[in-house]
Amino acid sequence: MRRLTAALTMTTTLTLIAGCTTSADNGGGTGEGDSGRPTLEMASSEVIADAADNGVDTSARLFESSDVVVVAADTPEDLSRGVHLAIAGGAPLLTAGDQAAVDAEIERLGVERVITVGEVGPLIDGPEITPATPAETPASISAGVAASLDAETAEGMEGLEHAEHPLDMPPMLATDATSLASIATARAAGADVHVLSYPDPRITSESMALVTEQDVLALGDEFGSQERLDTAIEMAANGELPGGGGLVFPGRRMIAFYGHPSGDALGVMGEQPPAEAVDRVKAHIENYQPLEEQPVVPAFEIIVTVASEFPGEDGKFTNVGNPEDFLGYIDAITDAGGYAFLDLQPGQASFLEQAKVYEDLLKRPNVGLALDPEWNLQPGEQPLQRVGHAEAAEINEVSEWLAQLVRDNNLPQKGLIVHQFQLQMLRDRDQINTDHPELSFILHADGHGGPEQKFDTWNVMRQDLSDDWFMAWKNFIDEDNPTFTPEETYNNVDPRPWFVSYQ
């Protein structure tokens, strides 16, 4: 067991002995890292949930034992001090609150001395309890700062000699939502912690490369289940999307033209041939990009099935376009570094049967799907009699099929838009299954009218909406009064829409 001697400035100078070894549940180290030390044994990348946000799970995975542990009260000032002490001493940091869990971890580690920061309440009998004297450390500390704070910096601030963990640690992923106790414990063990802006390793090109080159530990339950992390890492090898990274959203925003190749009757996209439509939407982006730090990429939302007032030969009140008729627009927008969505107006057909018509197009990496419940009719109904609706079960069967298509063809994440401007259009929206890492779920609140009416629609559509959805906005060139400018769209619409289409 390695030991370190560290001095803490308190009423008197204390000598702390802190030691650590590999976690018993990982079977010890295997192989050697760059330092010559054995590496933490891992069968594959893992999620350390730390669901209680107190660092106990992380400590249990990374440390078999430690003579010293830091326990901090759950305040910004105390956590900040605790982070510095833990990293300086190479010891786990636990957050007070769940006394039973903290006591159990202290006992498992075989702790001889507990350094407490702030009012942590009574702790397990046995170890020596040493309150830390207040010192000049930042009043609060962010996940990013904690991840980058090294032992040398901590040593200079706290007067501590850092203990080197006996094992080399794999890279670790965190977000701003990851507990500081987990991040500090990982840094105390010597790990490099990469703080991502979103809890998915596909968020950037760099994080995609990181997880495809070696196993990682993901800190925090915001990364989801082990199965979800496994899927995300597997998909990180499937290529990037326009603007970088492997997620549709976040990581970029999109400005889209909506329409049909037949002409201007169904939207602005068809007012001109494909190449000219691309140039026109890119001209719009020149006004949006200065307002946004993330890349803003061009997109088309192409209506491929059109609801009809006539029943047609199949009696389903919908015209199903030949997939080849849309290749010109799809090729033009994707060759320009953009994205295409295929929009379905099913009439009395089902979304799924129409989606399958365009399976070959959807096998392309930069082609997603859009479902429009407005034109989803029930038996006996016809278009324009009233606004249609879709049941969650109808959306779910499409998302299941589309997610499987992504998996079977090793594709990057695919966007799935669902349109809604009335609550009745998705009456059981809370039953829509958004637990598909293969898909990015986008709710398109596409009501038209004056600003007050549009904002009312937007706000109602957002009520009780799961965080799994990304919001989209539509600017109607003729029906809105007035049509929002790029500045009004990005600065006045809250939250800022990820996808903005023009019709």
CATH of residue 497's domain is 3.20.20
> Residue 375 has what pLDDT?
95
> Based on the domain organization, do 271 and 391 belong to the same domain?
yes
Identify the band that residue 160 occupies on the pLDDT scale cut at 50, 70 and 90.
low
Identify the band that residue 124 occupies on the pLDDT scale cut at 50, 70 and 90.
very high
- In sequence order, the 6+-apart residues with CB closer than 8 A to the CB of 12 are none
> Residue 383 has what pLDDT?
73
Q: How much is the mean pLDDT over the chain?
A: 90
> Based on the domain organization, do 188 and 263 belong to the same domain?
no
Look at residue 248 and tell me if it is in a domain.
no
> Residue 25 has what pLDDT?
39
Report residue 133 as tokens.
């004297």
Residue 396 burial by Cβ neighbours in a 10 Å radius (0-12, 13-18, 19+): middle
> Based on the domain organization, do 264 and 174 belong to the same domain?
no
Domain span at 299: 254-502
Name residue 458's amino acid. W
> Residue 159 has what pLDDT?
62
Residue 11 has pLDDT above 90, yes or no: no
> Residue 156 has what pLDDT?
64
> Residue 367 has what pLDDT?
98
Query: Among candidates 168, 154, 145, which has minimal Cα distance to 6?
Result: 154
Look at residue 380 and tell me if it is in a domain.
yes
Mean pLDDT of 67-72: 95
Residue 369: Cβ within 10 Å count: 27
Look at residue 245 and tell me if it is in a domain.
no
> Based on the domain organization, do 284 and 401 belong to the same domain?
yes
Least confident of 90-104, 209-223, 383-397, 402-416: 383-397
* pLDDT, greater one: 158 or 497: 497
pLDDT tens per residue across span 178-236: 999 999 999 999 999 999 999 999 999 999 999 999 999 999 999 999 999 999 999 99
Query: Among candidates 332, 352, 334, which has minimal Cα distance to 344?
Result: 352
> Based on the domain organization, do 179 and 310 belong to the same domain?
no
Mean pLDDT of 452-477: 96
Mean pLDDT of 34-41: 83
Mean pLDDT of 440-446: 96
Name the domain boundary from 203, 238, 273. 238
> Residue 157 has what pLDDT?
64
Look at residue 308 and tell me if it is in a domain.
yes
pLDDT tens per residue across span 415-431: 999 999 999 999 999 99
Residue 9 has pLDDT above 50, yes or no: no
Residues 406 and 439 sit within 8 Å (Cβ to Cβ): yes
Name residue 296's amino acid. V
What is the distance between the alpha carbons of residues 117 and 140, in angstroms, rounded to a whole number?
Answer: 14
Mean pLDDT of 311-321: 92
> Based on the domain organization, do 466 and 383 belong to the same domain?
yes
Mean pLDDT of 404-420: 98
Look at residue 243 and tell me if it is in a domain.
no
Tell me the percentage of the chain whose pLDDT exceeds 90: 82
Look at residue 341 and tell me if it is in a domain.
yes
Give the predicted TM-score (pTM) of the model: 0.89
- 95-103 LR contacts (CB < 8 Å, sep 24+): 95/53, 95/54, 95/55, 95/71, 95/179, 95/180, 95/181, 96/54, 96/71, 96/72, 96/120, 96/121, 97/52, 97/54, 98/52, 98/54, 98/56, 99/123, 101/52, 101/54, 101/56, 102/54, 102/56, 102/71
- 148-157 LR contacts (CB < 8 Å, sep 24+): 149/83, 149/84, 149/87, 149/187, 150/87, 150/187, 151/87, 151/88, 151/90, 151/187, 154/84, 154/85, 154/87, 154/88, 155/88, 157/84, 157/88
Residue 103: Cβ within 10 Å count: 17
> Based on the domain organization, do 134 and 278 belong to the same domain?
no
Name residue 333's amino acid. I
What is the DSSP-derived secondary structure letter of residue 380? T
> Residue 139 has what pLDDT?
77
> Residue 171 has what pLDDT?
97
Identify the band that residue 27 occupies on the pLDDT scale cut at 50, 70 and 90.
very low
Identify the band that residue 448 occupies on the pLDDT scale cut at 50, 70 and 90.
confident
> Residue 457 has what pLDDT?
95
Name the domain boundary from 190, 214, 238. 238
Residues 29 and 37 sit within 8 Å (Cβ to Cβ): yes
Scored b (16 or more CB within 10 A) or e, 33-64 reads: eeeebbbbebeebbbbbbebbbbbbbbbbbbb
Question: Which backbone phi and psi does 493 adopt, to 5 degrees?
Answer: -85, 125
Look at residue 15 and tell me if it is in a domain.
yes
Name the domain boundary from 238, 272, 306. 238
> Based on the domain organization, do 437 and 304 belong to the same domain?
yes
Q: Tokens 């890119």 appear where? A: 282
> Residue 33 has what pLDDT?
58
Residues 326 and 304 sit within 8 Å (Cβ to Cβ): yes
pLDDT tens per residue across span 247-290: 999 999 999 999 999 988 899 999 999 999 999 999 999 999 99
Look at residue 249 and tell me if it is in a domain.
no
What is the distance between the alpha carbons of residues 430 and 445, in angstroms, rounded to a whole number?
Answer: 16
Report the number of distinct structural domains present in the chain: 2
Crossing angle of helices 76-89 and 151-158, in 10° steps, is 110
Report residue 419 as tokens.
């349109």
Mean pLDDT of 25-45: 70
Q: Hey, which residues does 264 pair with through a beta bridge?
A: none
